[in-house]
Amino acid sequence: MYGRAIGSSVLAAALVTSCFAAAQARETNYLGLQLFAVAGVHKDVVGTQYGAGIGPLLQARLGGRRLAFRFEGIPVVAIPQRASAYYGQATPSIGIFNATLGYRVVPRVSFGVGETVINQRTPLPNLQQVVSSRLAGFRYALRYTEPLRGRRTLEANLGAAPTLWGSDVYVYGNGVTPPTVKAEQAAEIDASVAIGLQRSYGEMLVGLRALNFSAKYTATGIAGDRNAGVGLFVEFRKAIP
């Protein structure tokens, strides 16, 4: 029994070593462009809307082997949705900025802390309203990379902004009603997994990405809206010194 226990301990140690001490995927500084095609759902108190769109996300990494900044941003782009009987043809415009400072904890895993900023503007034709908001808060990011055969890399990312603060501003088109401002609190989480392929210019990644966003009004605690989406992306990274 004692020998069996020693054997089990040796096996467990070997597994841990293989996970944390294996060769890490090669990390380089880069400028990148991610093309993200997403389909999703928007829910609020009056119902559910479905939509789809394609957006460009600018990417960058600057730093060393252990400590590095990562930036991600999408300029304000319009995402068409199916028209609803209540809102009409609502086409929200959304912009996102993520920035983190990450530290490589073990060869394959890094953890980062930073900020998320989300801007949106949505005209509501049937209500003669335009709703806009800006939310910001701390972001936490977990990253896993593993080298594969054939100059390929597995890359997985998990990011979360547990608490975003901001406000919704309602502007009315009737020329009479003054703008209304409602304090808002939100949370966001996103995850992705991709295969990276080495190219002469740097790297190309192909993968799957999902996101979930929910918000509520601070004063009342009433749910504002929830947005969830999933889609495919292709990312091109140009290596820089």
pLDDT in tens, 130-184: 888 999 999 999 999 999 998 999 999 999 999 999 999 999 988 889 999 999 9
Determine the distance from the C-alpha atom of residue 223 to the mean position of all C-alpha atoms in its chain, rounded to a whole number: 21
Does the residue 9 lie in any domain? Answer: no
CA angle 74, 79, 80 (to 5 degrees): 170
Neighbour count for residue 77 (Cβ, 10 Å) = 15
Does residue 129 sit within a domain? yes
Identify whether 29 is part of a domain. Answer: yes
Answer whether residue 17 is part of any domain.
Answer: no
In a domain, 142, yes or no: yes
8 lies in a domain? no
For the whole model, what pTM was predicted?
Answer: 0.82
Question: Under a CB-based contact definition with an 8 Å cutoff, are residues 80 and 41 in contact?
Answer: no
Q: Reduced to 3 states, what is the DSSP secondary structure of residue 86?
A: coil
* CA–CA separation, 234 and 111 (whole Å): 24
What's the CA gap between 161 and 211, in Å, rounded?
11
Work out how many domains the chain is built from and give that number. Answer: 1
**H/E stretch holding 200:** none
* Cβ atoms of residues 141 and 116 within 8 Å: no
pLDDT at position 224 is: 82
> Measured between alpha carbons, how far is 31 from 61 in angstroms, rounded to an integer?
7
Element (H or E) spanning 11, and its range? helix 2-20
CATH of the domain at 188: 2.40.128.100
The range of the structural domain enclosing residue 181 comes to: 25-239
Q: Please report whether residue 14 resides in a domain.
A: no
Work out the number of other CB atoms within 10 angstroms of the CB of residue 80. 12
Report yes or no on 230 lying in a domain: yes
pLDDT digits (tens, 9 = 90+) for 8-42: 444 444 334 444 444 555 679 999 999 999 998 87
